[in-house]
Amino acid sequence: MQKIELEISGLSHTITQSQSYAVLLSEVHGNRKLPIVIGAFEAQAIAVAIEKVVINRPLSHDLIKNMFTIFQINLREVLIDNLQEGIFYSKLICERDGQEIEIDSRTSDALALAVRFNCPIFTYEFILDSAGAIINEPESEEEEDDELESSLEALQEAATQHDDLSEMSVKDLNDRLKDFLDQEDYESAARVRDEIERRKGS
């Protein structure tokens, strides 16, 4: 599949998930945007690297970069390679001694590392078709936030359209709850938890 290059164009606090942020990725050779909800820690890690803030002790992502450098592992690119039920999946495409190595990663961590390594970010057309949006150039910061928020709401709605919890078994619900917690998607985790509690009470 042909890869499409993206770049980080902004970070925004989301209204729909009070403890979450959104990183906005822009198509390098196009006008589509890809908003991805991330946690506060990962948002801070990305912002620190973008702004080149000097800190006394390394954050976790700085530590990973230092380890990669010491062991002569080059992060060549980040690839957002799948989207399932509103969750983005990514790989770190690395190289060491001429050998390519793929490492599974949360997308938020992969983006924090991409900024530190100054490496390109790619995705596939089907992901942009599913979760991307065309956002016109805003006339003000407030308009930009409104555009981003609308895109995030559309993404979250699309992610839950096929997620009919009432038709899932308790085992499937518990598996889904674990997946959402692993991805730090606490709003979706809360919906699943409420359905599990409803089943217990009925």
What are the tens digits of pLDDT across the range 28-46? 999 899 999 888 888 888 9
Residue 92 burial by Cβ neighbours in a 10 Å radius (0-12, 13-18, 19+): buried
- At residue 145 the predicted structure's pLDDT band, cuts being 50, 70 and 90, is low
**Regarding predicted confidence, which is higher, 164 or 63?**
63
User: What separation, in Å, do the N-terminal and C-terminal C-alpha atoms of the chain show?
Assistant: 48
Show the DSSP H helices in 26-124 as ranges: 40-50, 60-70, 107-117
Identify which of 47-56, 66-75, 155-164 has the greatest average pLDDT: 66-75
Res. 142: pLDDT tops 80: no
- In terms of phi and psi (left: phi > 0; alpha: psi -120 to 50; beta: otherwise), the region of 86 is left
Determine contact, residues 179/87, Cβ cutoff 8 Å.
yes
Going across the sheet that includes 87-96, the strands are 99-106, 87-96, 74-84, 121-124, 3-13, 20-27, 32-39, 133-134
Tell me phi and psi for residue 14, to 5 degrees.
Answer: -90, 150
Q: Where are the domains of the chain?
A: 3-141, 164-202
Tell me phi and psi for residue 23, to 5 degrees.
Answer: -100, 130
**Regarding predicted confidence, which is higher, 148 or 103?**
103
Beta strand 121-124 with 74-84 is parallel
Q: How far is CA 173 from CA 158, 189, 197, in A?
A: 19, 10, 11
**Regarding predicted confidence, which is higher, 46 or 172?**
46
Work out the average pLDDT over 77-105.
Answer: 94
- At residue 8 the predicted structure's pLDDT band, cuts being 50, 70 and 90, is very high
HSE (side-chain half, CA atoms, 13 Å) at 177: 16
CATH superfamily of 3-141: Bifunctional nuclease domain (3.10.690.10)
